[in-house]
Amino acid sequence: MQNRQLFLQHVAQTSPAPIGIEMVKASGIHQWDVSGKQYVDLISGFSVCNIGHSHPAVVQAVQEQAAAYMHLIVYGEFIESPQVRYAARLAEHLPASLNTVYFTNSGAEATEGAMKLAKRVTGRSRIIAFQNAYHGSTQGALSIMGDEYWRQAFRPLLPGITHAAYNDDAVLQQIDASVACVILETVQAESGITRPHNSWLQAIRKQCDAHGVLLVLDEIQAGFGRTGSLWAFEQAGIIPDILLLGKALGGGMPLGAFIASWDRMQLLTQDPVLGHITTFGGHPVSCAAGLAALDVLLSSGWIDSVAAKAQVLAEKLKHPAIQSRQAAGLWMSLQFANATLNQRIVHQCVQNGLITDWFLFAPDRLRIAPPLCISEAELSEVCDRILLSIDQVLSAS
């Protein structure tokens, strides 16, 4: 039986029409299917592969750690070198108040842990999130997701959630002493790369401080150099109380984290003991991979090249069919007349060897987020293929 048929029969599907390409290899910015066709991964495996696929340093770290041990009791009993070393390396590159890392399996689980920690620290339960926000699909994360289309089928969800307009000062009046935390993406991803004003983020930080409210920043997609600095919040001149990481955190392996100060994180250790636990979070192989990937990113100079590469996108991606562009570093969305046209262009891009997609809350926008290791010449060729795909779709209409 063909793998495609087995895939459709036995692997749980998330949409009625998956792309269904059987991939057999990935390296750098490229993937290859079973027939040998080469594709540029224009979305970095949904922002996971910021340093590209199968970097030799990451592969070596995975192999060496797997040969030593692949699993021990993750939390509470044993000191595991990959976990400890990665937590310490992250702390070296974060503000002093973000010095304690709780590793999880994914960004969604990081969101869940942060929500629990915020309630524990403040003794409050109300949470302010934002319209068009995406923080994961688990029950708690779904409760703060900013779109009723995805929430409505799974109610009842968590009470006490307020959804405010992103980048709108009206939310400031809602931040008061009844709120446990404000949770937001430093750059909102699934609305089509929406970058807020730094002044708005700074005002939220000030209002949170005034009322003892924790500020949780989600950099699950925006982190690890995507916007031109290691962390996007650095550009806004603010520091979160809790930072959410995932995707690129694991260097291609499953890994998430929520990061806070040591004193706050200790509140999960008592009353009750084991206030937050996980079997596989901070898995040693994932941490070894993530540490290797971070070291590659920091030593490569790729973050410093983001601005120049972003300029290539800005200069080349011009077409009458592109109604608007939104960008943050090497991360862009292209808006077309409607979702149907965008879907046709996305599929034509795939036919032309470009892996791209749309956005959850902006189906009329095409996603661009290549590995940061892509060269300017490769990026220029990618732009040519996107423009060709647009022309081919329009000429077939």
The residue among 273, 300, 327 that closes a domain is: 300
Which residues, given as ranges, of the chain have pLDDT below 70? 1, 74, 76
The residue among 300, 335, 368 that closes a domain is: 300
Containing structural domain, residue 18: 8-41+305-396
Residue 3 belongs to some domain of the structure? no
Torsion angle (degrees, nearest 10) of CA 232, 233, 236, 241: 170
SS3 annotation, the chain: CCHHHHHHHHCCCCCCCCCCCCEEEEEECEEEECCCCEEEECCHHHHCCCCCECCHHHHHHHHHHHHHCCCCCCCCCCCCHHHHHHHHHHHHCCCCCCCEEEEECCHHHHHHHHHHHHHHHHCCCEEEEECCCCCCCCHHHHHHCCCHHHHHHHCCCCCCEEEECCCCHHHHHHCCCCEEEEEEECCECCCCCECCCHHHHHHHHHHHHHHCCEEEEECCCCCCCCCCCCCCHHHHCCCCCEEEECHHHHECECCEEEEECHHHHHHHCCCCCCCCCCCCCCCHHHHHHHHHHHHHHHHHCCCCCHHHHHHHHHHHCCCCCCCEEEECCCCEEEECCCHHHHHHHHHHHHHCCEECCCECCECCEEEECCCCCCCHHHHHHHHHHHHHHHHHHHHHC
Domain tally, the chain: 2
Evaluated on CA atoms 239, 240, 243, 244, the torsion sign reads negative
Residue 1 belongs to some domain of the structure? no
Q: Are 267 and 117 in contact (CB under 8 A)?
A: yes
- What mean pLDDT value characterizes the chain? 95
Nearest to 340 by CA among 317, 318, 366, 313: 366
Same-domain check for residues 282 and 318: no
Same-domain check for residues 361 and 377: yes
Same-domain check for residues 170 and 288: yes
The residue among 255, 281, 300 that closes a domain is: 300
Residue 113 belongs to some domain of the structure? yes
2-50 tens-digit pLDDT: 887 877 777 777 777 777 788 899 999 999 999 999 999 999 999 999 9
pLDDT confidence of residue 1? 59
Same-domain check for residues 275 and 383: no
Same-domain check for residues 137 and 123: yes
Same-domain check for residues 60 and 203: yes
210-236 tens-digit pLDDT: 999 999 999 999 999 999 999 999 999
Residue 178 is encoded by which pair of tokens? 């009844």
pLDDT confidence of residue 74? 66
- Model pTM? 0.96
pLDDT confidence of residue 72? 86
pLDDT confidence of residue 21? 85
Residue 231 is encoded by which pair of tokens? 């962390």
pLDDT confidence of residue 170? 98
Q: C-alpha angle 37/343/248, rounded to 5°?
A: 65
Q: Which residue has the tokens 């524990």?
A: 120
**Neighbour count for residue 8 (Cβ, 10 Å):** 12
Residue 253 is encoded by which pair of tokens? 């392996």
